[in-house]
Each structure stands twice: as structure tokens, then as C-alpha cells.
Chain A
Amino acid sequence: MNARILVVDDDPAIAEMIGIVLRAEGFEPQFAGEGQAALDLFRSGKADLVLLDLMLPGMDGIEVCAHIRAESGVPIIMLTAKGDASDVVRGLESGADDYVVKPFNPKELVARIRARLRPTLPTTSDAIGIGDLVIDVAGHEVRRGDGRINLTPLEFELLLALAAKPQQVFTREMLLEQVWGYHYKADTRLVNVHVQRLRAKVEHDPDNPRIVTTVRGVGYRAGAVT
């Protein structure tokens, strides 16, 4: 079955054009012109990925993003019309996995969507330990003792990438390539924001991280198994 993609944009021309591009690539687009409609459609339509314009009439994109994220770990790619740095960060902080700046070309958009829909999971054993957590790769689960920790697919991938090579220090660029699928220099804030979000979920004390540790001036690495 083709992946369903929810396109949320208030400009019908863009939405239609994106729809043409997506259909040509074999996706199945759904459309919503404003925030509430987007949420309704998301709940009923079971989209596999959300393309979300940040500037929406009524409920704005950031809010929609936060609502969707509260209900689901579905990949969200923001469409930002602004070059404004603060908007991108706010979007990422409210749960978006990635973003594309308008105007974009179709190949770029499709590449971003594919990267999020087909995660390049490392082929490893069934369970990997990181800190006091256990990652069940096959079950797509992270557990602390008996408790299950809810991660979005992106956060799961990020944690798994680090845990799979516990000896290695990952630079932000390496993570961008491995987790986000960027093959060129992209925005390292993507990594920073998502590491923060991940830490908020998995660390006992996010200010004093033990599971995803920072290597100053280089990047991140997995904490020792305990």
C-alpha cells in the first residue's frame, strides 16, 4: 500500500502542486487547509507522514505540530516560508522531525519524505543496552526495567544509532547523514533540538545526561551500559 501523506497548507495551489509531485512518486496525498481540519483528518486518515506549513490561518502550524506529536510519533516535516531561525527552532521543539524551506524543489521534498518513511535501521542484534535502557530493535521499543518509554521513530533511530556503536563519538554531521538522510551539510540545529527532546524522555536528569552524553566540540556518544 502506498504511504499516505497529509499535506497541510492553506494555499490550494501549493497543496495541489505538492499533490501532483507526490502522486508522481507513488504517494497518496491527503489535504487540509487549516489547523483544525488537519487534526481531524490526521485522526481519521491515519497518515504515515505529515507535511505541515508553519503559517496557517487559525491554529498555527506550531500548535498543530504539538497536538499531533502529543498523540503520535508520526514523522512531521515542516514547510517554512520564513528564513527566520527562531521559527525553525520553535517548530523542531514542538516536535517536527525535519523541515524544508520554501521554495523547494520536488526532488528535495521527495528525498526528505523518503528519508523519514524508510528509516535506515542498522542491522544489529535484537536487544542493545544503553545506560540503564534496553533497546528492542525488532520490537521497536525502548524499556527501562519493566517500563516502556515512548519515543517517536526519529528519536528511536537517533538513540539506536548512538547505542549501536557505543565506542564511537558521533559528530552532528554524521548523525544528520545517518538519521536524517542528509548527504550534504545541513542544519545542525536539527540534531541539537532532537537530542534535547530525546534526553527529556530518557534521562533521569536531562541537565546531567548519562545516556546521551555530549563530547564537547565534537558531538555525542552513548553512555556506558549500567
Chain B
Amino acid sequence: MRVDWRNWREWLRRLWRLWRGSLRIRTVAITVLLSAIAITAIGAYISTSVSSNLFDQRRQSVTAEAGKATTSAQNVFTQVQDLSDSTDLESVEDSATNAIQTAAPSAPLIAILRAPGQGGPSRMENRASEGFEALDLSQALSKSVLSGGSRQLSWQSIAVPNKAGGTDPGIIVGSLLDVPTAGQYQLYLVYNLSDVQQTLGFVQRTLVLGGLALVLLIGAVAYLIVRLIVGPVRLAAETSEKLAAGHLEERLRERGDDELAVLARSFNRMADSMQRQIRQLADLSRLQQRFVSDVSHELRTPLTTIRLAGDVLYDQRDTFPPATARTAELLHTQTQRFESLLADLLEMSRYDAGAVQLETDPTNLVRLVEDAIEAVAPLAEEKHTEIRLVAPGGYFEADVDARRIRRILQNLLGNAIDHGEGLPIDVYVDSDADAVAIAVRDHGIGLTQVELARVFDRFWRADPSRQRTTGGTGLGLAIALEDAAVHGGLLDVWSEKGQGSCFRLTLPRQFGALVMGSPIPMPPDEDAA
């Protein structure tokens, strides 16, 4: 039972999907359903009106015939009244029956029954055709016959047994005969309407077949029309898919002047304009990349010379007078700063141009974090900052560009040391089924909400007056954000003034997947440390 129930629901779901999924099926189904309802209604109306017409017509002819038969039978009896009493009532009845049969040749069953509750000098035998007894004569009819006058005809529909053992529809007509000396007798004439029924059956069969054919035809027409309209729409959908997939050359065929041709033309115009703009963007991007590459070369060439010269001077600064020695030192540090600024700028513009390519390798992120912590250890020592690693998870090989992730980490750690006020820094690494996350939590001055909103902005600095030890370019977090995004990951931040800050990097476990949540809460649970 349970299986059946499930199957039933499964079927229902499948049907629903089919219904929702195909305009063609929906349109054809609705058309067929509605036209079937209309045709059924019309057919039912035609059938009833034909049947009632046929019946009425037949009833009229039947009652007319019955009237005639009644009259001729009554005449027989009336004539007899003038005869002597000795007249044999039986023979009179015979002749009345004959008269009735002559007047009503189409009535197969005839009955002459004595009306109940009357006495008379003589008595005529009840007479009925064979099979009459089996009829289901209603009380209402005989009452109506008895209460009516001698010329009054009463009728009712009745089932007449046929030869095949079933019943045919029929009409029984009753009237009252006055038989002299014997009192009132009921005359019943039974008519078989099977021929009318046959005619009606034929009409109904024709109606049903015709209706079915019509519904099928309408369904087919609807299918054809929908195909005619949906076909191009579907083609347009497929073409849009191809366009979306990057096949910018795809176009629809424009034929004729109808609405579909208009659709095709508008669609193609849209595609043209899109292609043009994408080309322009691609050109711009190429131009930008070219520019970046040129700037890179043009700036780096003199910078290389300056750097070499500066370093040569710097290495000999012990032999210079103090002022010149300091100059050599300044030249050295500022050249380095200029160099990192240039590198960051170029990296940023490479991101802006969309010209960044990842080189992913299976990398153990916990090891990577350990390396990054080691790399900033001298700086941390200088600031008397303790860096603690809490890594409950993340011990697997994630497909990442290790250089970029290391760069993010060094940036986050550098910031944490700079703004951590010498308080311990906690680094968390954890993973779940979908993602791996690294969080760097400091307990320093923290950021206000206003500062928090700008923290990833280019060249924005939390506190310009503060002394910087890491020599940041102001682009570090902006690049880190891009580095995270290009991995399909997220870099977000939590901070509270006086409580410190936490930057959290979340990367998808599978390269190319989307990050939905993060294995590390924000801010991280300090008790876990």
C-alpha cells in the first residue's frame, strides 16, 4: 500500500513537472479539456432535445391513435346498447377488440380491464394481450384513467419486455370505456418505442463519435499551432543559452514579417548590441592589460637601476659621513616602499583588467598558516606579540594558489601585529564538509563601524598618524579581498572598538564551489583557544 501511495505521489509529481515544464502540453491539455467540456454540453443538449422531440412526436401520434381506438371501441359498445340484453357481451368485446386493433395497428399490447368497485347486471371478462400482466402498471395511471371522463386519455412511460429478455421503452395509454350493462372498463394500449430508442441511440452514437473526433481535431490543431509558436520561442531560448555560454556569433533566422520574425529581429539586434559591447569591453580589457604590461616594464626598468644603485650605496654607508649615510638609508627604504607600491598597483590593475590567472596546487592550509606565522615572527617579536595557532581542522590538501593565500595571510598577520597593541593574536584554522576557513583575531584597538565599512577600500588607512612597521601600501586588504574572491572564497571582518578585530578567510573545499557558510564563527569562540 505504502509503495503504491508513494508511486502515486511520484506520478503526480512527474505529471506536475511535465505540466509546468511544457507550454505545449499545457496548451493542448487546456484546449482539449475546454473543448471537450463545451462539446459534451452541446452534445448533451442536442441529445436531450432530439430525444424529447422524438418522444413528444411519438406520444402525440400514439395518443391520437389511442383516442381513435377508444372512440371506435366506445362506438361498438354504444351500438350494442341499442341491441337486446341478450347480446353476448363476449362477442361484443371481440368486435370492440377488433375495432381497437384496426384503429391502433401499432399497439402490440391491448388490455380491457374492468374498473374496480362497481356492480352491474352483467359482466364482461377482462381481456389482455399476452405479456400485459408482466407490465409494471402504476397506481397513478389507473387512478388518472378512472377519474378521467370517457374521452380522457392518460399516459405514462413504461418498460416493455422484449424478445431478447430485456426491456424496451414504451408508452402505455389508458382510457375509460362505458360498456352498457357491464359498467366502466379501462382500456390500455401499450406501445413499444424501441424504434425511437434506436433512432435516439444512433443520434447519440453519432454525437459521441463526432464529438470525440472534434476534440481530437481541436487537440491536433492546438498542438500544431502551439508548435508553430513555441518552436521559434524554444529556438530563441536555445540560442540565448548559446549566447550566454559565450557563442556570441549565434543568431536566430529571420523569416517573413510576422510577430515571430519581429521577435527574431529584435533578438538578433539585442545579440548584435551585446556582442558589440562585449567586444568593446574585451578590447578595453586588452588595452588595459597592454597598458599594465607596458607600465610594468617602463617603470621597472629605471626602478631596477635605482634599486641597484641605492643598494650599492647602502652597502657602503659605513664609509659615508653621517648625513650621506642616512640619505643612503632613506633611499634604500623608500626604494623598497616604491617597489612594493608598484607591485601592489600592478596586481590591483591586473585584477581590474580581469587578467588574473590562478595557479592552484594541492596545499595544506595549516602548514601554509604555520609558514606565514613563521615569516612574520621577527616582526611579532619586535612588537612583543605572541601568535597562537588554533587548528582543529584544515589538515587536508586544498586546491589553492598558495602564493596568493600566503599573501593574504601575511597581510592579515601584519595588520594584526600593527594594530594588536602587543596583545596575543589568535589564528584559527578549521574546516567543514564544504569549506575551510582561516581567521586572524587580534585584541587590539579594533575599528569603529564607520572604519569597518571602509576597511577594504583602496589606500584607506585605519589611523594615518599611527606608525606603520609593515610598510603597507594601503592596497593590502583590497588585494586580499580580490585574492579571496578569485578563489571563490570570502574575506570578511568583525571588529569592535577596544575589543580588537577578526579577519576571516573562507575558501571552498572544492575549487570552483561556492562558499555558503564558514566553519569558524564570527567572532571566533575564544574558549576554543
Which residues of A pack against B, CB within 8 Å?
Answer: 11, 13-14, 17-18, 20-21, 24, 55, 81-85, 102-107, 185, 217
Contact = CB atoms under 8 A, between A and B. Distances in A.
Contacts of B378: none
Interface string B280-302: 00000000000001001100111
Contacts of A105: 307-308, 311
8 contacts: A13-B302, A13-B305, A17-B305, A81-B301, A82-B296, A83-B346, A85-B359, A105-B308
B312 A18 contact: no
Nearest to A188: B361
Contact of B307 (A20, A82, A85, A103): A103
B296 A21 contact: no
A191 to B, nearest CB: 13
A102 B300 contact: yes
Most chain A CB neighbours (cut-off 10 Å) among B304, B343, B359, B362: B304
A55 B302 contact: no
A103 B300 contact: yes
B304 A104 contact: yes
A89 to B, nearest CB: 10
Contacts of B311: 105-107
B238 interface: no
Contacts, number: 61
B308 A17 contact: yes
B330 interface: no
Most chain A CB neighbours (cut-off 10 Å) among B297, B301, B306, B343: B301
B312 A21 contact: yes
Contacts of B301: 11, 13-14, 81, 102
Nearest to A87: B293
B46 interface: no
Contact of B362 (A24, A55, A102, A217): A217
Q: How big is chain B's contact interface, by range?
A: 20 to 34
A105 to B, nearest CB: 5
Given A102-B300, A103-B300, A18 B308 contact: yes
Interface string B291-335: 001001100111111111101100100000000000000000000
Describe B's contact surface by its main secondary structure.
Answer: helix
A9 B89 CA distance: 151
Q: Which 3 A-B pairs have the closest CB atoms?
A: A103-B304, A103-B307, A102-B304
B297 A21 contact: no
Given A13-B302, A102-B304, A104-B307, A20 B339 contact: no
A81 B296 CA distance: 7
Given A14-B304, A103-B308, 18 more contacts: A11-B302, A13-B302, A14-B301, A14-B305, A17-B312, A18-B308, A21-B308, A81-B304, A82-B296, A82-B297, A83-B343, A83-B347, A84-B293, A102-B300, A103-B304, A104-B304, A104-B307, A185-B371
B357 interface: yes
Contacts of B300: 81, 102-103
A226 B227 CA distance: 73
Given A11-B301, A17-B305, A106-B311, A85 B357 contact: yes
Nearest to A54: B297
B339 A106 contact: no
Contact of A103 (B293, B303, B315, B371): B303
Interface in B383-405: none
Nearest to B332: A105
Nearest to A13: B305
Contacts of B346: 83
A21 B302 CA distance: 16
A84 B302 CA distance: 19
B312 A20 contact: yes
B414 to A, nearest CB: 18
Contacts of B305: 11, 13-14, 17
B293 A82 contact: yes
Nearest to B397: A217
B102 to A, nearest CB: 116
Most chain B CB neighbours (cut-off 10 Å) among A11, A84, A103: A103
Nearest to B359: A85
A75 B108 CA distance: 128
Nearest to A107: B311
A206 B307 CA distance: 42
A103 B305 CA distance: 8
B302 A83 contact: no
A222 B301 CA distance: 42
A17 B343 contact: no
A24 B313 CA distance: 12
A55 B297 contact: yes
Nearest to B315: A106
A13 to B, nearest CB: 4
A56 to B, nearest CB: 11
A189 to B, nearest CB: 9
A172 to B, nearest CB: 11
Contacts of A55: 297
Nearest to A217: B362
B238 to A, nearest CB: 36
B353 to A, nearest CB: 13
Given A85-B359, A103-B303, A106-B315, A14 B308 contact: yes
B312 A106 contact: yes
Nearest to B362: A217
A162 to B, nearest CB: 22
Most chain B CB neighbours (cut-off 10 Å) among A11, A107, A217: A11
Contacts of A106: 308, 311-312, 315
Contacts of A107: 311
A83 B339 CA distance: 13
Nearest to B347: A83
A104 B303 CA distance: 9
